[in-house]
Each structure stands twice: as structure tokens, then as C-alpha cells.
Amino acid sequence: MTEANGHGVDISVSIVNWHTREDLLECLGSFVPPEARRQPEGSSFAVNGLTCEVIVVDNASGDGSVEDTRAQFPVVRLLAQERNLGFGRGHNKAISVARGRYILLLNPDTIIGERSLPELVACAHSRPEAGILGPRILNPDGSVQYSARSFPTLAAGFFRNSILGRLFPRNRYTREYLQSDWDHHDTREVDWVSGAAMLIRREALKDLTGLDEDYYMYVEDVDICWRARKAGWTVLFCAESEIKHKKARASDLAPNRMIYHHHRSMYLFFRKHYLADAGVLQQIIVPAGLFVRASYFITRNKMAKWLGLRR
């Protein structure tokens, strides 16, 4: 990753897009002021007292995302790729040219409120020990998404989205992982925050050398927060900043492929960060459990499609 100079830019917004043209345009429209949209590509502009730039990495969408973004938001620096680089590699492309003091990794299926960015940056200014910060993420209906969580455990894996979880929906392992007993109305230090909207301090990025590109999709956010904490940074949930997130819009286009990558990424995280301290039984159970879990969900999707229950 090449480090860029700040040049007076407070925040660089990095968006990786794949086949979500309408969401991307709505997202850009939620925070790029109308008077800034026609500025030359790569220009910085003012957003509620902040100097901002936007970089969109399009992962070979082929759905008009590139053409419509250029037509409606010429100010956006658009990095059109010839193939799908994945989440981490796509964001690292943007980070390599970003000029901001802070980099906001942002999903295209998000909506930015008027005070979202200034509140998030103000939180970062007030907490210099925080290398990574996440806003309070809401569902479209205004309910809280559990976007600030504890690091995964074997017990949470057994109960999360499983038959056990259905039998015991209020089990403490899932609650601890999701932090669902907390109303998410106060700012606090957490284990990790969602990559759907993640603010990273440039100094932290320099220490961490960007996102780990071994992950194609999913778990990159857990991984970088783990590494940040190991490097001495804190990870902060900022309740004052709110962002709406429609969730899994691109993933729904290729569900079985995404199930595979999700479970592969969970295994990579286990191998990179847990394996050295894992017992023999855990070294056997985790890979086997991930394989069985992925196979179950993929088979269920295929059966539903075969029966005409899924398009």
C-alpha cells in the first residue's frame, strides 16, 4: 500500500461496488452536496465543515455503475477494475491513492445522515488512541444493527445461525458475540466494528499496512480490528454518528458463492489468529464445523431453488 499525503483532506470515503448501481447512486447522493457533484474527478469538497473526497472502486460490475457514476457524480474518483478484486483488495486500491487524514470504508448500500461524518470525525479527534471507529448502524426501519461485536468464539459459532440457535435464541454466547444486551446508545471501546462503515486513522493504516488481501470477502473487518488492538490501538464504537445500512445487497446476488467465501474467511481468521493457542480438539472441530455449516446452507439454497422457492 502506498501512503499518500493529506493535502488538507479530512476524510477519504472509499466505496467498493459490485452490481449495486442504484444503491451506490443513492449512497453518493446522501452525502455529496449537489454543488460539488460536477467538480472535476478527484476534487475535494466541503461536507458540514469537513473537507472530503470520494473514491469508488468498481469491481467489474457491468450494470451501468461506472457510466452512471461518471455521469451523475463526476467529482468521484472512479477506479474501474476489469475483474472482481474482492472487498479488501478493492479498498486497498482506494487507500493507496487516498489523501485524507481518515479513511472511511463504506458499503454502497448505506445512507449517510447530515451529521454522520462530522460526528464520526469529532469522535476520532477526541479519542486519539482509537485507530478504528465505527458509527451506530441502523436498519432501514431505524432499528439497531449489531455492528459492534465481540471477537468470535467456538461457543458462539455453535449457536450462531444454527439449530442450537433456533432452539435457544436467547443463549448467552450469541448475546455476548452480538453485544445484543447493550442498547448501542453510548460510545465505548469494543472488539471490532463492521466494515460496512469503518473509519480508520491514517497512522493506524500505516501500522497495519491496509486490509489483509488473503480474505476475498468477509471477516476483513474482524481481522483488521484484531491486528489494530494487537498493535496498541483501540477500536471505538461512536454512538453519536448514525448511518443506515440495507445489508447484504450484493451478497444476495450470488448467495452460494458468498456462503463459501464467508466460511473460508472464518477459517482463515481462525488459522491466522487462533490456531497457535488452539487445542487438538479445537483444531479438528473448527474446520469440520465450518465445512458442515457451509455445506448445509449451500445445499438448502440449492434445494429451495430446485423446488421453486428461490429465484
CATH topology of domain 11-146+184-246: Spore Coat Polysaccharide Biosynthesis Protein SpsA; Chain A (3.90.550)
Query: Residue 247 pLDDT > 80, yes or no?
Result: no
Instruction: Kindly state the average pLDDT of the residues 255-259.
Output: 85
Is the pLDDT at 81 greater than 70? The verdict is yes
Can you give the pLDDT at residue 2?
37
Q: Using an 8 Å Cβ cutoff, are 221 and 212 in contact? A: no
For the cut 50, the answer to whether the pLDDT of residue 3 exceeds it is: no
**Secondary structure letter of residue 192 according to DSSP:** E
> Whole-angstrom Cα distance, residue 124 to residue 84?
32
pLDDT of res. 248: 59
- Strand, coil or helix: 263: helix
| Contact residues for 172 (Cβ-Cβ < 8 A; gap 6+) | none
Q: Smallest Cα–Cα separation from 136: which of 52, 50, 196?
A: 196
Q: What's the pLDDT at 300?
A: 81
Cα–Cα dist 5/34, whole Å: 27
Question: How many other C-beta atoms are found inside a 10 Å radius of the C-beta of residue 192?
Answer: 25
Query: What's the pLDDT band for 159 if we cut at 50, 70, 90?
Result: confident
For the chain, state the CA radius of gyration: 19
**Closest by Cα among 192, 168, 167 to 179:** 192
